[in-house]
Protein backbone atom coordinates (compact mmCIF):
# COMPACT_ATOMS: atom_id res chain seq x y z
CA UNK A 1 0.00 0.00 0.00
CA UNK A 2 1.24 3.47 -0.85
CA UNK A 3 1.65 6.00 1.90
CA UNK A 4 -0.96 7.98 -0.02
CA UNK A 5 -3.59 5.22 0.09
CA UNK A 6 -4.54 2.19 -2.00
CA UNK A 7 -3.55 1.98 -5.64
CA UNK A 8 -6.51 1.81 -8.04
CA UNK A 9 -8.00 -1.63 -8.52
CA UNK A 10 -9.56 -0.74 -11.85
CA UNK A 11 -7.33 0.70 -14.54
CA UNK A 12 -9.24 1.89 -17.67
CA UNK A 13 -5.94 3.10 -19.09
CA UNK A 14 -5.06 -0.51 -19.94
CA UNK A 15 -7.41 -0.18 -22.93
CA UNK A 16 -5.57 2.92 -24.17
CA UNK A 17 -2.00 1.64 -24.12
CA UNK A 18 -1.37 1.43 -27.87
CA UNK A 19 -2.90 2.35 -31.23
CA UNK A 20 -3.82 -1.29 -31.83
CA UNK A 21 -5.55 -1.56 -28.46
CA UNK A 22 -7.44 1.68 -28.97
CA UNK A 23 -8.50 0.59 -32.44
CA UNK A 24 -9.73 -2.78 -31.19
CA UNK A 25 -11.99 -1.31 -28.49
CA UNK A 26 -13.19 1.71 -30.46
CA UNK A 27 -16.94 2.13 -30.03
CA UNK A 28 -17.40 4.39 -33.05
CA UNK A 29 -15.87 3.75 -36.45
CA UNK A 30 -15.91 5.84 -39.60
CA UNK A 31 -16.17 4.26 -43.03
CA UNK A 32 -16.02 5.84 -46.50
CA UNK A 33 -19.62 4.75 -47.11
CA UNK A 34 -20.72 7.00 -44.24
CA UNK A 35 -20.03 10.11 -46.32
CA UNK A 36 -22.00 12.20 -48.81
CA UNK A 37 -20.23 14.93 -50.78
CA UNK A 38 -22.02 18.27 -51.23
CA UNK A 39 -21.04 19.78 -54.60
CA UNK A 40 -21.85 23.02 -56.39
CA UNK A 41 -22.14 23.35 -60.16
CA UNK A 42 -22.26 26.81 -61.73
CA UNK A 43 -23.79 27.66 -65.05
CA UNK A 44 -21.75 29.51 -67.64
CA UNK A 45 -18.22 29.00 -66.31
CA UNK A 46 -15.38 27.31 -68.18
CA UNK A 47 -13.11 26.69 -65.18
CA UNK A 48 -13.91 25.74 -61.58
CA UNK A 49 -14.39 28.86 -59.46
CA UNK A 50 -12.75 28.78 -56.00
CA UNK A 51 -15.07 29.69 -53.13
CA UNK A 52 -13.08 32.21 -51.10
CA UNK A 53 -14.89 31.49 -47.83
CA UNK A 54 -14.41 27.72 -48.22
CA UNK A 55 -10.74 27.00 -48.99
CA UNK A 56 -10.40 23.94 -51.19
CA UNK A 57 -14.05 23.95 -52.36
CA UNK A 58 -15.11 25.19 -55.81
CA UNK A 59 -18.12 25.92 -57.92
CA UNK A 60 -17.74 23.22 -60.54
CA UNK A 61 -18.10 23.34 -64.27
CA UNK A 62 -20.12 20.50 -65.75
CA UNK A 63 -16.90 18.74 -66.72
CA UNK A 64 -15.18 19.16 -63.36
CA UNK A 65 -18.33 17.95 -61.60
CA UNK A 66 -18.23 14.74 -63.61
CA UNK A 67 -14.62 14.22 -62.51
CA UNK A 68 -15.54 14.94 -58.88
CA UNK A 69 -18.28 12.32 -59.07
CA UNK A 70 -15.83 9.73 -60.41
CA UNK A 71 -13.40 10.57 -57.60
CA UNK A 72 -16.18 10.12 -55.05
CA UNK A 73 -16.97 6.67 -56.45
CA UNK A 74 -13.31 5.67 -56.40
CA UNK A 75 -13.00 6.82 -52.77
CA UNK A 76 -16.00 4.75 -51.70
CA UNK A 77 -18.26 7.69 -50.86
CA UNK A 78 -21.98 6.80 -50.93
CA UNK A 79 -23.54 9.91 -52.43
CA UNK A 80 -23.19 13.36 -53.91
CA UNK A 81 -25.63 16.17 -53.06
CA UNK A 82 -25.88 18.60 -55.96
CA UNK A 83 -26.56 22.31 -55.72
CA UNK A 84 -27.09 24.26 -58.94
CA UNK A 85 -26.00 27.87 -59.36
CA UNK A 86 -27.79 29.42 -62.35
CA UNK A 87 -26.71 32.54 -64.18
CA UNK A 88 -27.89 35.63 -62.32
CA UNK A 89 -29.92 36.85 -65.29
CA UNK A 90 -32.06 33.70 -65.19
CA UNK A 91 -33.23 34.11 -61.61
CA UNK A 92 -36.75 35.40 -61.07
CA UNK A 93 -39.37 35.63 -58.34
CA UNK A 94 -40.56 32.05 -58.88
CA UNK A 95 -37.27 30.22 -59.35
CA UNK A 96 -37.90 29.24 -62.95
CA UNK A 97 -34.46 27.54 -63.36
CA UNK A 98 -35.55 25.10 -60.67
CA UNK A 99 -38.31 23.62 -62.81
CA UNK A 100 -36.75 24.09 -66.25
CA UNK A 101 -35.57 20.68 -67.52
CA UNK A 102 -32.57 22.54 -68.94
CA UNK A 103 -31.86 24.34 -65.66
CA UNK A 104 -28.31 23.86 -64.41
CA UNK A 105 -29.23 21.50 -61.59
CA UNK A 106 -31.25 19.19 -63.81
CA UNK A 107 -28.49 19.20 -66.44
CA UNK A 108 -25.94 18.38 -63.73
CA UNK A 109 -28.03 15.49 -62.44
CA UNK A 110 -28.12 14.00 -65.94
CA UNK A 111 -24.39 14.57 -66.37
CA UNK A 112 -23.50 12.77 -63.16
CA UNK A 113 -25.88 9.88 -63.79
CA UNK A 114 -24.41 9.47 -67.28
CA UNK A 115 -20.91 9.45 -65.80
CA UNK A 116 -21.32 7.14 -62.79
CA UNK A 117 -24.72 5.49 -63.24
CA UNK A 118 -25.84 3.81 -60.04
CA UNK A 119 -22.36 3.61 -58.52
CA UNK A 120 -23.03 6.82 -56.59
CA UNK A 121 -26.31 8.03 -55.13
CA UNK A 122 -27.15 11.24 -56.97
CA UNK A 123 -28.97 13.54 -54.56
CA UNK A 124 -30.49 16.88 -55.48
CA UNK A 125 -31.17 19.95 -53.37
CA UNK A 126 -34.88 20.66 -53.65
CA UNK A 127 -35.20 24.33 -52.73
CA UNK A 128 -35.80 27.64 -54.46
CA UNK A 129 -33.16 29.78 -52.78
CA UNK A 130 -30.50 29.33 -55.48
CA UNK A 131 -32.92 30.12 -58.30
CA UNK A 132 -34.92 33.13 -57.06
CA UNK A 133 -33.89 36.76 -57.25
CA UNK A 134 -34.84 37.42 -53.61
CA UNK A 135 -32.86 34.50 -52.15
CA UNK A 136 -35.57 33.02 -49.94
CA UNK A 137 -36.50 29.34 -49.91
CA UNK A 138 -39.97 29.97 -51.27
CA UNK A 139 -42.38 32.15 -53.21
CA UNK A 140 -43.17 35.52 -51.65
CA UNK A 141 -46.67 36.92 -51.13
CA UNK A 142 -47.71 40.53 -51.67
CA UNK A 143 -46.37 41.50 -48.25
CA UNK A 144 -42.96 39.95 -48.98
CA UNK A 145 -43.51 36.97 -46.70
CA UNK A 146 -42.72 33.40 -47.75
CA UNK A 147 -46.01 31.84 -48.87
CA UNK A 148 -45.89 28.28 -47.56
CA UNK A 149 -48.54 26.68 -49.77
CA UNK A 150 -47.59 28.49 -52.97
CA UNK A 151 -44.04 27.29 -52.33
CA UNK A 152 -45.24 23.70 -51.99
CA UNK A 153 -46.64 23.90 -55.52
CA UNK A 154 -43.19 24.84 -56.78
CA UNK A 155 -41.53 22.08 -54.75
CA UNK A 156 -43.84 19.51 -56.32
CA UNK A 157 -42.79 20.63 -59.80
CA UNK A 158 -39.13 20.65 -58.82
CA UNK A 159 -39.36 17.12 -57.44
CA UNK A 160 -40.76 15.84 -60.71
CA UNK A 161 -38.15 17.46 -62.96
CA UNK A 162 -35.32 16.35 -60.68
CA UNK A 163 -36.64 12.79 -60.68
CA UNK A 164 -37.00 12.88 -64.47
CA UNK A 165 -33.39 14.06 -64.71
CA UNK A 166 -32.28 10.98 -62.78
CA UNK A 167 -32.00 11.91 -59.09
CA UNK A 168 -31.93 8.88 -56.81
CA UNK A 169 -32.76 11.05 -53.79
CA UNK A 170 -34.35 14.48 -53.47
CA UNK A 171 -33.68 16.70 -50.47
CA UNK A 172 -36.44 19.21 -49.69
CA UNK A 173 -34.51 21.74 -47.61
CA UNK A 174 -36.78 24.78 -47.37
CA UNK A 175 -38.53 23.91 -44.08
CA UNK A 176 -42.02 24.51 -45.47
CA UNK A 177 -44.86 22.89 -43.54
CA UNK A 178 -46.08 19.79 -45.39
CA UNK A 179 -43.22 19.67 -47.87
CA UNK A 180 -42.47 15.95 -47.49
CA UNK A 181 -46.06 14.86 -48.13
CA UNK A 182 -46.41 17.10 -51.17
CA UNK A 183 -43.11 15.93 -52.66
CA UNK A 184 -43.98 12.26 -52.05
CA UNK A 185 -47.35 12.68 -53.78
CA UNK A 186 -45.75 14.52 -56.69
CA UNK A 187 -43.18 11.76 -57.21
CA UNK A 188 -45.75 8.99 -56.94
CA UNK A 189 -48.01 10.71 -59.47
CA UNK A 190 -45.36 10.32 -62.16
CA UNK A 191 -44.51 6.75 -61.22
CA UNK A 192 -41.30 7.58 -59.34
CA UNK A 193 -42.01 5.64 -56.20
CA UNK A 194 -38.37 4.54 -56.27
CA UNK A 195 -37.01 8.05 -55.66
CA UNK A 196 -36.19 8.49 -51.97
CA UNK A 197 -36.76 11.64 -49.92
CA UNK A 198 -34.10 12.96 -47.57
CA UNK A 199 -36.05 15.23 -45.22
CA UNK A 200 -34.27 18.26 -43.81
CA UNK A 201 -36.12 17.60 -40.57
CA UNK A 202 -34.30 19.81 -38.09
CA UNK A 203 -32.77 22.69 -40.01
CA UNK A 204 -31.81 25.53 -37.73
CA UNK A 205 -31.46 29.23 -38.46
CA UNK A 206 -27.70 29.32 -38.03
CA UNK A 207 -24.80 31.75 -38.31
CA UNK A 208 -22.72 28.88 -39.68
CA UNK A 209 -24.36 29.02 -43.13
CA UNK A 210 -22.33 32.12 -44.01
CA UNK A 211 -19.80 30.62 -46.46
CA UNK A 212 -22.57 28.68 -48.22
CA UNK A 213 -24.13 31.98 -49.31
CA UNK A 214 -21.07 32.62 -51.47
CA UNK A 215 -21.05 29.04 -52.71
CA UNK A 216 -24.56 29.30 -54.19
CA UNK A 217 -24.41 32.97 -55.18
CA UNK A 218 -27.25 33.78 -52.78
CA UNK A 219 -29.31 36.93 -53.35
CA UNK A 220 -30.80 36.80 -49.85
CA UNK A 221 -31.53 40.00 -47.98
CA UNK A 222 -32.58 39.54 -44.37
CA UNK A 223 -32.85 36.11 -42.76
CA UNK A 224 -34.87 32.89 -42.74
CA UNK A 225 -36.00 32.87 -39.14
CA UNK A 226 -39.70 32.58 -40.01
CA UNK A 227 -39.22 29.10 -41.44
CA UNK A 228 -35.93 27.68 -40.14
CA UNK A 229 -35.89 26.50 -36.53
CA UNK A 230 -34.91 28.59 -33.51
CA UNK A 231 -31.53 27.45 -32.09
CA UNK A 232 -33.01 27.71 -28.58
CA UNK A 233 -35.51 24.90 -29.16
CA UNK A 234 -35.31 21.11 -29.28
CA UNK A 235 -38.89 19.88 -28.80
CA UNK A 236 -40.03 21.25 -32.14
CA UNK A 237 -37.37 19.06 -33.79
CA UNK A 238 -39.21 16.00 -32.56
CA UNK A 239 -42.49 17.46 -33.77
CA UNK A 240 -40.99 18.05 -37.20
CA UNK A 241 -39.57 14.54 -37.11
CA UNK A 242 -42.98 12.98 -36.41
CA UNK A 243 -44.54 14.95 -39.26
CA UNK A 244 -41.79 14.05 -41.75
CA UNK A 245 -42.03 10.35 -40.92
CA UNK A 246 -45.83 10.44 -41.20
CA UNK A 247 -45.60 12.20 -44.57
CA UNK A 248 -43.27 9.59 -46.06
CA UNK A 249 -39.65 10.60 -45.47
CA UNK A 250 -37.10 7.86 -46.16
CA UNK A 251 -34.17 9.52 -44.39
CA UNK A 252 -34.11 12.42 -41.94
CA UNK A 253 -31.50 15.10 -41.39
CA UNK A 254 -30.18 17.41 -38.70
CA UNK A 255 -28.47 20.57 -39.94
CA UNK A 256 -26.02 21.98 -38.85
CA UNK A 257 -24.28 19.01 -37.27
CA UNK A 258 -21.62 20.14 -34.80
CA UNK A 259 -23.56 22.78 -32.82
CA UNK A 260 -26.60 20.47 -32.64
CA UNK A 261 -25.19 17.12 -31.54
CA UNK A 262 -27.79 17.00 -28.76
CA UNK A 263 -30.56 17.30 -31.35
CA UNK A 264 -28.89 14.66 -33.49
CA UNK A 265 -28.80 12.26 -30.54
CA UNK A 266 -32.46 12.89 -29.67
CA UNK A 267 -33.56 12.37 -33.28
CA UNK A 268 -31.48 9.21 -33.60
CA UNK A 269 -33.02 7.79 -30.43
CA UNK A 270 -36.55 8.63 -31.57
CA UNK A 271 -36.66 7.16 -35.07
CA UNK A 272 -35.88 3.91 -36.87
CA UNK A 273 -35.08 5.61 -40.19
CA UNK A 274 -31.51 6.42 -41.26
CA UNK A 275 -30.39 9.71 -39.71
CA UNK A 276 -28.15 12.06 -41.68
CA UNK A 277 -26.23 15.10 -40.43
CA UNK A 278 -24.88 17.97 -42.52
CA UNK A 279 -21.52 19.33 -41.45
CA UNK A 280 -22.10 22.73 -42.99
CA UNK A 281 -19.91 25.36 -44.58
CA UNK A 282 -19.16 27.33 -41.44
CA UNK A 283 -18.07 24.21 -39.58
CA UNK A 284 -15.76 23.34 -42.46
CA UNK A 285 -14.34 26.84 -42.84
CA UNK A 286 -13.60 27.27 -39.13
CA UNK A 287 -11.39 24.20 -39.09
CA UNK A 288 -9.68 25.15 -42.34
CA UNK A 289 -9.01 28.69 -41.11
CA UNK A 290 -7.67 27.54 -37.74
CA UNK A 291 -5.49 24.92 -39.44
CA UNK A 292 -4.12 27.51 -41.86
CA UNK A 293 -3.12 29.61 -38.86
CA UNK A 294 -1.44 26.62 -37.26
CA UNK A 295 -3.84 26.71 -34.32
CA UNK A 296 -5.14 23.15 -34.73
CA UNK A 297 -3.89 19.92 -36.27
CA UNK A 298 -6.02 19.79 -39.42
CA UNK A 299 -6.34 16.02 -39.86
CA UNK A 300 -7.03 15.39 -36.19
CA UNK A 301 -9.63 18.15 -36.10
CA UNK A 302 -11.40 16.83 -39.22
CA UNK A 303 -11.66 13.29 -37.91
CA UNK A 304 -12.55 14.36 -34.39
CA UNK A 305 -15.49 16.37 -35.69
CA UNK A 306 -16.64 13.54 -37.98
CA UNK A 307 -16.32 10.97 -35.22
CA UNK A 308 -18.33 13.17 -32.85
CA UNK A 309 -21.14 13.47 -35.40
CA UNK A 310 -21.14 9.73 -36.03
CA UNK A 311 -21.03 8.98 -32.29
CA UNK A 312 -24.02 11.26 -31.67
CA UNK A 313 -26.16 9.10 -33.95
CA UNK A 314 -25.63 10.04 -37.59
CA UNK A 315 -25.74 7.09 -39.98
CA UNK A 316 -24.38 9.32 -42.78
CA UNK A 317 -22.64 12.67 -42.88
CA UNK A 318 -22.70 15.34 -45.57
CA UNK A 319 -19.24 16.86 -45.40
CA UNK A 320 -17.02 18.82 -47.76
CA UNK A 321 -14.17 16.56 -46.61
CA UNK A 322 -16.03 13.44 -47.84
CA UNK A 323 -13.56 12.34 -50.53
CA UNK A 324 -10.44 13.34 -48.61
CA UNK A 325 -11.63 11.61 -45.44
CA UNK A 326 -12.69 8.49 -47.34
CA UNK A 327 -9.31 8.19 -49.02
CA UNK A 328 -7.43 8.52 -45.74
CA UNK A 329 -9.67 5.99 -44.02
CA UNK A 330 -9.04 3.51 -46.83
CA UNK A 331 -5.30 3.85 -46.32
CA UNK A 332 -5.48 3.62 -42.53
CA UNK A 333 -7.77 0.60 -42.58
Active-site residue list: 203, 255
CA distance 220 to 63: 28
Q: How many CB atoms lie within 10 A of CB 16?
A: 11
Residue 275 near residue 252, CB atoms below 8 Å: yes
Residue 238 near residue 267, CB atoms below 8 Å: yes
Strands 196-203 and 251-255, sheet pairing? parallel
CA distance 21 to 28: 14
Residue 267 near residue 313, CB atoms below 8 Å: yes
CA distance 258 to 305: 7
Residue 80 near residue 39, CB atoms below 8 Å: yes
Amino acid sequence: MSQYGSFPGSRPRRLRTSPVMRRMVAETRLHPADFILPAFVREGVTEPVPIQAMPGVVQHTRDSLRKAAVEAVEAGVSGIMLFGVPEESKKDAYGTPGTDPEGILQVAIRDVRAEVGDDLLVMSDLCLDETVDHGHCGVLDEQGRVDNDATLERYAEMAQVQADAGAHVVGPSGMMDGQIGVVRDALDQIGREDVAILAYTAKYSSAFYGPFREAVGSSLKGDRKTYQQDPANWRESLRELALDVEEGADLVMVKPAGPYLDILARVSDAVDLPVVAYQISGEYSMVEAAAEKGWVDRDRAIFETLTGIRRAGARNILTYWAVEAARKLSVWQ
